[in-house]
């Protein structure tokens, strides 16, 4: 069975959902830290993400964890994570499920 970009994107999202900001008990995908997932025809994956703040204590380790987990997916050729701070992250970027889990609804 050959994999499609859409199927791979779902696998990438599932893998990202295993990554957590240690200070907030919800995964970084539902927190709204992932801005873009780009997959090219060669199955290179680029993740554009942010952090809760530029001074986030996991600024070094979290992007590296995401990149390593995505690179570990068999169908992925290369993985790259780019950190951006525009637009800045804010709590409204979290999904409704994340806000519910954190008692914000």
CA angle 81, 60, 57 (to 5 degrees): 125
pLDDT, residue 71, reads 98
pLDDT, residue 79, reads 98
Strand ranges, E, within the chain: 34-39, 45-49, 79-83
pLDDT, residue 25, reads 85
Run means of pLDDT, 10 residues per run, the chain, 105 residues: 90 97 89 97 97 87 96 97 95 91 83
**Phi, psi at 7, each rounded to 5°:** -65, -45
pLDDT, residue 27, reads 95
From the list 30, 19, 14, 12, the residue with the least C-alpha distance to 71 is 12
Domain residues of the chain, as ranges?
5-101
Q: Note the pTM of the prediction, 2 decimals.
A: 0.92
- Which CATH class name applies to 5-101? alpha beta
The answer to whether the Cα torsion of 50, 53, 54, 57 is positive or negative is negative
pLDDT, residue 33, reads 96
pLDDT, residue 93, reads 93
């Amino acid at each position: 069975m050959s994999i499609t970009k859409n199927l791979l994107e779902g696998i990438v999202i599932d893998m990202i959902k295993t990554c957590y900001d240690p200070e907030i008990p919800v995964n970084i995908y539902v927190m709204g830290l992932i801005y873009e997932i780009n997959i090219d025809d060669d199955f290179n994956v680029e993740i554009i993400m942010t952090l809760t703040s530029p001074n986030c204590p996991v600024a070094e380790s979290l992007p590296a964890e995401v990149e390593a987990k995505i690179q570990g997916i068999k169908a992925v050729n290369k993985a790259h994570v780019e950190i951006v701070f525009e637009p800045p992250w804010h709590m409204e970027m979290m999904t409704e499920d994340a806000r519910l889990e954190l008692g914000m609804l």
